[in-house]
Structure 1
């Protein structure tokens, strides 16, 4: 089941459906592609960033003193 695969790999339902067009949702046969590469929005990466096209929400916490951001 594609929803179970999406949940296991922590991707969204629509992402896995759009990636696997032509694959039946409830009984997939053959290979299933799991999207795992995402392009980050342009900088500055601070706080909450919403990428509307990807339908993704990113959170960039403030960097600790003397350490690079993550």
Structure 2
């Protein structure tokens, strides 16, 4: 039997709750980015999209350089 599917955003939110200060990304320059910091970035991007009129169900595409923020 296949285990129930957990959407990636739910899995991420659970990790933020459990261990907000745990490192999520270790960058080549030695910087570390935590779950909490990533949640803040995600929130800012989401707020910008909503402010620009994006609504649930809309499709959004972006061409960006590789980075943890992307």
What range is the shorter-chain TM-score in? under 0.3
> Which one has the bigger strand percentage?
1
Higher helix share: 2
TM-score of the two chains, using structure 1 as the length reference: 0.24
TM-score by length of 2: 0.24
| Higher CA-based Rg | 1
